Structure 1
């Protein structure tokens, strides 16, 4: 395990039990948690993107703000639903955020998942071309985005521009050098992981994937990772890809932890249908005293296969408590898993 970061969905609710009651709370606390995580030695601050929900949505203002407040930590998404995105405008936003952060952006993308509304991307002005599915549209948007990140000119310049142009076709600005190699794909199946490898994308695998073999979640996810790496090697890419998995992991270090998560230790994988056709498996959570937790995580084949672990945090419990959750993992658990 080379890197450990956190993943926040950025929920907010006006409930009196929540310490994150407004959208402003979710955004500002996300920045504060990233700063705290960097001070604790964590490697990454990642954020989920959901539309039409009381959760984090437009990621680039948040990523830019985190980049301006931190110096070292990776800043990323897991994941952006590409059905909703204008890939050219997104390339400008991503380039700007990456330059503000000094080249620390790690963008996870996806073809989308079940959402709060029916075909929400239609409200954003997008619809599949004739013969396409919405997943096809997401991949088409992604291909345009990736091509744009290469920084090659493609637009015919005005012969009488307002400002002088460099010679040749024009590219979008600002261009962030190296960002193309820091793009990830959130894969829900083995086939999608293979597609990501063929496109030269790093792999993000969450706690939910298609149930393709009936085996325990971590075994299926490990097979997915191996399929990705085999496809990467077969395609002939010259760099080494990265692979992340996300987990809900809580070290029971005090009575506060025990009150919140003491009953989560008996968690098991869950299987169900996320739509009419897709049978999915959702991985278990981990919560135990450090010694027991270490042994449990050592048996998780997908954690062993990955190079990056993203800890899903209960953001509505507040910045201080989530910093404690991260610190407990980094201090008591991570070294035994080979971190640093």
Structure 2
């Protein structure tokens, strides 16, 4: 039986931060302005999607650092950093530094696996060690240990005039509790729970049962419950859901038509598992805030969470994002029981 829907406690949004190759600064400024707007509207969190060798945010840690100096309250997250591109020790230093600068507001989300199109980029990324790199959960465990203060060196103390630490500096004590794993499978959900992480579940999950029928919401629900069953905090373990929702309350007729066309083009992929990995995609939800709230409250997985990071569509204009975020904060959030941050 489905649970009673929880009042929405934390409202967040996710952006890919697209930019024009000929004017990358304007695109990054737009992203920062959207985050500033999110804080003004009372959003609890803003999340950055990660894109390498594309025209989106390639360095979300740097963008979070910039955003941290232009905001005071809103939390800043990544959804997600693919660790196959990262050295866990260096990433731990960068994350801790930005967390200190932000006053303890960052929520790094990560995932594992070989980098996308690895054969095309391994010569540039790992010219000498490509065949030896470990892209398993072990890479996440290393990051967790380093962020949480476990030794990174066999030595600490003074050598000559310099003082050395055996753990990552700066050390940000609360950061270890704000690490998230972005997963779309039962195995990932259980691993994240067993290692005391938080769990990001998006609009993409893996259909692991050999036969259908397949229901996205039920698959996502099974992941949430598997994560919490494995987590020391049980039902209180943090889960954030990241569906694509597009409220149209204050949209113009031209905007509504574009939004509906965008969703319609993406709908066919939601009918059945896609590709060898058998990925299931959630339909985008377009409509008034009241219509969206009713659909979410009937969504089996949404009923299990009290945090969301609604994904902004990738290809819209800055003015569209202003309208969507404003409707989310002033109409949709309250319809789901949320109240804006101070």
* Fold shared per TM-score above 0.5: yes
Q: 2:139 aligns with which of 138, 141, 157?
A: 141
Which residue is equivalent to 2:183? 187
Q: CA–CA distance in 2 between the matches of 1:38 and 1:147?
A: 31
Q: CA–CA distance in 2 between the matches of 1:178 and 1:294?
A: 33
Which residue is equivalent to 2:58? 57
Aligned residues: 321
Which residue is equivalent to 1:332? 331
Which residue is equivalent to 1:17? none
State the secondary structure of the residue aligned to 2:323. helix
Pair 1:175 & 2:160 matched:
no
Pairing of 1:78-227 with structure 2 (within 5 A): 78-112=79-113, 115-116=116-117, 118=119, 120=121, 123-125=124-126, 127=130, 129=132, 137-155=135-153, 156-157=155-156, 160-165=159-164, 170-213=166-209, 214=212, 215-227=214-226
Q: CA–CA distance in 1 between the matches of 2:122 and 2:194?
A: 26
CA-to-aligned-CA distance 1:98-120 (integer Å, 9 cap, x gap):
01110000010001477355364
Q: CA–CA distance in 2 between the matches of 1:243 and 1:35?
A: 24
Deviation (angstroms), 1:332: 1.6
Alpha-carbon RMSD across the aligned residues, in angstroms, is 2.4
Q: CA–CA distance in 1 between the matches of 2:67 and 2:139?
A: 26
Deviation (angstroms), 1:189: 0.4
8 Å contact kept, 1:5–1:45: yes
State the secondary structure of the residue aligned to 2:301. helix
Deviation (angstroms), 1:195: 0.8
Deviation (angstroms), 1:219: 1.6
Pair 1:6 & 2:45 matched:
no
CA-to-aligned-CA distance 1:194-244 (integer Å, 9 cap, x gap):
011011110011111111243221121011101111111xxx358942101
Normalising by structure 2, what TM-score? 0.86
Q: CA–CA distance in 2 between the matches of 1:237 and 1:291?
A: 33
Unpaired segments ≥5 residues, structure 1: 15-20
Q: 1:112 to 1:78 in 2, by over 3 A?
A: farther
Which residue is equivalent to 2:42? 41
Which residue is equivalent to 1:228? 227
8 Å contact kept, 2:247–2:292: yes
Q: 1:5 to 1:144 in 2, by over 3 A?
A: same
Q: CA–CA distance in 2 between the matches of 1:239 and 1:164?
A: 44
8 Å contact kept, 1:265–1:287: yes
Q: 1:292 to 1:164 in 2, by over 3 A?
A: closer
State the secondary structure of the residue aligned to 2:205. strand
Q: CA–CA distance in 2 between the matches of 1:122 and 1:188?
A: 29
Q: 1:97 to 1:239 in 2, by over 3 A?
A: farther
Unpaired segments ≥5 residues, structure 2: 1-7
Q: CA–CA distance in 2 between the matches of 1:161 and 1:216?
A: 64
State the secondary structure of the residue aligned to 2:162. coil
State the secondary structure of the residue aligned to 2:40. helix
CA-to-aligned-CA distance 1:43-78 (integer Å, 9 cap, x gap):
111011121222111221111011111111110000
Q: 1:121 to 1:323 in 2, by over 3 A?
A: farther
Normalising by structure 1, what TM-score? 0.86
